[in-house]
Amino acid sequence: KGVDLVAVVDSDEERRTAAATAFECQPFSSFSQLPQIDAAVVAVPTALHAEVGRALMERGVHCLVEKPLALDRAQAQILIDAADSANVVLQVGHIERFNPAVRQLEICLEGEQVLVANARRMSGVSARVGDIDVVMDLMVHDLDVILYLMGNQVEDTIAVGIDGAHGFDHVTALVSFEGGSMASLTASRITQNQIRKLEVTTKEDFYSVDYSNQELLIFRQGRVDNDGMAEGRYVLDVDTRRVFVRRTEPLVSELEHFMDVIRGDCENEVDGRQGLNALNLVWDIQEKLGRSTTTP
């Protein structure tokens, strides 16, 4: 709302022509050909994020850069510094932040301490993998969400994985935080079933988020029936609640947030520094695995 799509840039002539026709805008083969614009979505290969993003921000263009923010720390810092110098918005495309089930979980967790988080993001082989491992490709989504929900500093990480043609294809990581909280994460692209789930344990409740179906369940311990305890038997009542989640398209919500930040209507929830925080944890996990496809 209140936004005009004026241009699309793609080095492939067929793709840019098709996109320009579909969205009734101008096609360009290079970002350097763009007219003066207010904002841009940078969805190029990660290795080009710093080059394209910095050039646009130096022109005063607000940028939504797809995740991951960059391939290494130096490139990430280039983008952060460029945004600061030009006083423009740099938002990172961690789309699960805008999943309505995650938004509702955030509300439910207000005032509660997260003790344990467990994330699983698993799928089959994809043709779009490229030359990055599953930590940078998939697990980074959940690392960002968990860092956001935990709010504490990372103390240590442990990781194991199964190697593949493009780095590790299946990784399980254990992350410990200050204050005693912990998170376990599994990401895979060799699993013949798609799973996108996040589970959170607090002192009182257990929360289960289904990213794909945008569902949130709360399990709360109920009454303990002591009858039969002498024989080693008891009944534990568990109260299960399905939280109403108004389903929305996370990509649309992400873009709307980007526009709201530019207009000054709200704070940037996923800025460059948060994108770098997620990457720092990615690199730490890759280091524990013993081989990294990126160079911090």
Q: Which domains does the chain have, with CATH numbers?
A: 7-95+254-270 (3.40.50.720), 97-249+276-289 (3.30.360.10)
Which is more confidently placed, 122 or 292? 122
Mean pLDDT in residue range 76-102: 98
pLDDT of residue 237: 65
pLDDT of residue 132: 82
Label residue 158 by pLDDT band (50, 70, 90): very high
Q: Name the β-bridge partners of 122.
A: 188, 195
First to last CA, the chain: 39
pLDDT of residue 291: 62
Cβ neighbourhood burial of 132 (10 Å; 0-12, 13-18, 19+): buried
Mean pLDDT in residue range 152-175: 92
Residue 235: pLDDT over 60: no
| CA pair distance 62, 260, nearest whole angstrom | 12
Residue 85: pLDDT over 60: yes
Mean pLDDT in residue range 288-294: 70
| CA pair distance 249, 279, nearest whole angstrom | 25
Label residue 192 by pLDDT band (50, 70, 90): confident
Residue 44: pLDDT over 70: yes
DSSP classification of residue 203: S
How much of the chain, in percent, has pLDDT values that exceed 90? Answer: 81
CA angle 123, 129, 134 (to 5 degrees): 60
pTM summary value: 0.89
Using the structure block, give the residue that is written with the tokens 């263009």.
Answer: 61
Phi-psi region of 111 (alpha: psi -120 to 50; beta: other; left: phi over 0): left
Residue 142: pLDDT over 60: yes
